[in-house]
């Protein structure tokens, strides 16, 4: 991650969502084999508890699969609506693919459209009586895992496209900052190697040389020149 410039906001994103399951290994196979998710991490903590999580191929957040004790309060959360929403560019194609793999859906994909009014001020105010309210819409369905935890699956829409574009732009900006920082560090190291690495031994003089840049990389330079019998410069 690149360094933050003064006044910029620190990086922030959703990392993990807890999903309570009855059997971690059984649920792990479902998410990997039937949904095509990827293993994010699988580790054994010092307490002996297994810490395992999965992630959709194109996602940044992960689902942490937690196997609670049957007598715990968390055990009652198994089999509920998770409020987690997955977004894809083609709900129908994903519904067909997952249905062939045995994934249970609550209903077939449905189209839903809602007319809304933008609250932000717009310069192109429509003429009186004209109806130019944009329409937000997409295809929706819900699916379940082996423990009947349910998730929403929706198509890309205008809002999702805008959020995804912002996410990609932020990721590109962070990557650009990271590369710029890395390249400056390389240039700093290269410049440091150009300066004399050893000092000539003089019997009658103690001396030293250094160059402190005002920024990471500068154009100043120093060296010791052997003038032969006439001495050093």
Cβ-based neighbours of 121, under 8 Å, separated by 6 or more = none
Domain boundaries, the chain: 16-116+131-156
pLDDT above 70 for 11? yes
pLDDT above 60 for 187? yes
**More confident call, 198 vs 39:** 39
- Is there a contact between 87 and 77 (Cβ–Cβ < 8 Å)? no
The 10s digit of each residue's pLDDT in 129-150 is 445 555 566 789 999 999 999 9
- The tokens describing 142, both together, are 């819900």
Cβ-based neighbours of 143, under 8 Å, separated by 6 or more = 98, 103, 104, 105, 106, 150, 151, 153
Q: Give CA separation, 68 vs 78, 79, 131, 185, in Å.
A: 9, 13, 53, 47
Please count the helices (runs of H) and the strands (runs of E) in the chain. 3, 9
Model pLDDT, residue 228: 76
Model pLDDT, residue 226: 77
pLDDT above 70 for 205? yes
The 10s digit of each residue's pLDDT in 63-110 is 999 999 999 999 999 999 999 999 888 899 999 999 999 999 999 999
Name the region of 10 (left: φ>0; alpha: ψ -120 to 50; beta: rest): beta
> Residues 147-169: what's their mean pLDDT?
79
Average pLDDT, the chain: 82
Dihedral Cα 24, 30, 35, 41, nearest 10 deg: 30
Give the integer Cα–Cα distance in Å for 95 and 145. Answer: 14
Q: Does domain 16-116+131-156 have CATH number 3.40.50.720?
A: no
């Amino acid at each position: 991650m690149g360094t933050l410039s003064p006044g910029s906001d620190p990086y922030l994103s959703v990392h993990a969502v807890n999903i309570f399951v009855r059997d971690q290994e059984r649920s792990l196979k479902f998410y990997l084999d039937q949904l095509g998710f990827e293993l994010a991490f699988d580790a054994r903590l010092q307490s002996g508890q297994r810490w395992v999580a999965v992630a959709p191929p194109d996602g940044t957040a992960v689902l942490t699969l937690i196997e609670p004790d049957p007598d715990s309060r968390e055990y009652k959360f198994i089999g509920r609506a998770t409020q987690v929403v997955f977004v894809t560019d083609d709900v129908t194609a994903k519904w067909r693919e997952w249905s062939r793999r045995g994934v249970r859906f609550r209903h077939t994909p449905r189209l839903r459209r809602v007319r809304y009014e933008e609250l932000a001020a717009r310069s192109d105010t429509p003429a009186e009586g004209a109806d130019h309210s944009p329409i937000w819409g997409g295809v929706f369905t819900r699916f379940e895992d082996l423990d009947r935890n349910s998730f929403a699956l929706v198509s890309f829409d205008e809002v999702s496209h805008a959020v995804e574009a912002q996410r990609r732009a932020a990721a590109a900006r962070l990557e650009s900052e990271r590369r710029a920082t890395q390249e400056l560090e390389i240039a700093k190291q290269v410049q440091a190697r150009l300066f004399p690495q050893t000092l000539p031994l003089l019997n009658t003089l103690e001396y030293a040389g250094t160059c402190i840049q005002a920024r990471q990389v500068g154009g100043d330079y120093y060296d010791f020149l052997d003038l032969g019998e006439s001495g050093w410069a």
